[in-house]
Amino acid sequence: MELTEKTVSSELIFDGKVVHLYRDVVELPDGGTSVREIVKHLGAVCVVPVTDDGEIILERQYRYAVGQVLTEIPAGKLDYAGEDFASAALRELREETGAVPRELIDLGDFYGSPAIMGERIRMFLARGLSFTERHLDEDEFLDVFRMPLSDAVRAVMNGEIPDGKTQCAILRAAKMLGI
Amino acid sequence: MELTEKTVSSELIFDGKVVHLYRDVVELPDGGTSVREIVKHLGAVCVVPVTDDGEIILERQYRYAVGQVLTEIPAGKLDYAGEDFASAALRELREETGAVPRELIDLGDFYGSPAIMGERIRMFLARGLSFTERHLDEDEFLDVFRMPLSDAVRAVMNGEIPDGKTQCAILRAAKMLGI
């Protein structure tokens, strides 16, 4: 079955700091047309940092869009289009937690809201951590803390970690490590 | 540590069919200000439908925002603000696959992109399926297929299912069912 939609026209509605909103008219597989409101985004990374003691480093951060403090793994946007995902992951991990890993394992891609958002998040597992000072962006306010990976899996299963990328990356990291 | 951001002003930039984009000025925890570009959204549901044979029902769907055909579990938007998540899940499951479950288990919430999007997705596991006819929305084009849940877990771990909610809900359902 042919599923692809083709762009008929594309209108830039808002070109913001983070959000780039387009209203496109598309041709549907049956030849009809429809409107797609989509948000373009540079892309992002997230990292499950596992210490030699089997703990992971987590952050509590207020998320204005959902009006809640969420527990998340370290994450951040790419600095520019086409930036190497692994470099961005190392930078964000170091800035937010001070951690520098000996090993960075690619866990694959995560599309958080593919009906609307073009944002692709590359997930990583980081091991063999040593620590330097952290350097937060000036409008970032984070509480950093640690938790055994096995407890984090339980917290995900109990619904205590609603952030999608964090649930997904923790479950994948734990399964990969046999925890 | 105080993490909450308070709204100073809120401007509606675009009031679309699906996307409602706001540009808000917020007061940061340290008293400074920053801008938050956020997308409000009614909310959505997704369902891992497990047959009596241990297979799950999946869909292939073109996602214009990411320019790819993605493999996803059945999902859909709420029809109106405050709609009951379980009712919406039963409706979307039936419309897209024809399945009617005897049992619907709440797997908790999923925020796909909480830095930008207010969208909350409630995840469910559906069991004891019987089948009726499906009724797609007129601009929906889906290929529906089945796969053993254990194979779907492997596909997630191999990076073949980049959709976030699908990865997350499959891993949670499999873990809950001991698979």
- Please report, for chain B, the start and end positions of each structural domain, with discontinuous segments joined by +: 6-40, 44-176
Quick: pLDDT tens for A77-116: 999 989 999 999 999 999 999 999 999 999 999 999 999 9
Calculate how close chain B gets to A4, using CA atoms only, in Å: 6
- pLDDT-derived band of residue B170, with 50, 70 and 90 as boundaries? very high
Q: How far apart are CA B113 and CA A162, in angstroms?
A: 11
Please give the share of chain A, as a percent, with pLDDT higher than 70.
100
pLDDT of B139 strictly over 80: no
Q: What is the 3-state secondary structure (H, E, C) of chain A?
A: CCCCCEEEEEEEEEECCCCEEEEEEEECCCCCEEEEEEEECCCEEEEEEECCCCEEEEEEEEECCCCEEEEECCEEECCCCCCCHHHHHHHHHHHHHCEEEEEEEEEEEEECCCCCECCEEEEEEEEEEEECCCCCCCCCCEEEEEEEHHHHHHHHHCCCCCEHHHHHHHHHHHHHCCC
Return the residue in A6, A30, A113 with the most chain B beta carbons within 10 A, the one to mutate for interface testing: A113
Calculate how close chain A gets to B179, using CA atoms only, in Å: 12
Quick: pLDDT tens for B44-69: 999 999 999 999 999 999 999 999 99
CATH no., domain B44-176:
3.90.79.10
pLDDT of A52 strictly over 90: yes
Quick: pLDDT tens for A122-164: 999 999 999 998 887 777 788 999 999 999 999 999 999 999 9
- pLDDT-derived band of residue A65, with 50, 70 and 90 as boundaries? very high
Residue of chain A whose alpha carbon sits nearest to that of B16? A37
- From chain B, the residues in CB contact with A142 under 8 A are 3
Q: Could you confirm whether B103 is annotated as catalytic?
A: no
Return the residue in B22, B36, B59, B64 with the most chain A beta carbons within 10 A, the one to mutate for interface testing: B64
Q: Is the ipTM of this complex over 0.90?
A: yes
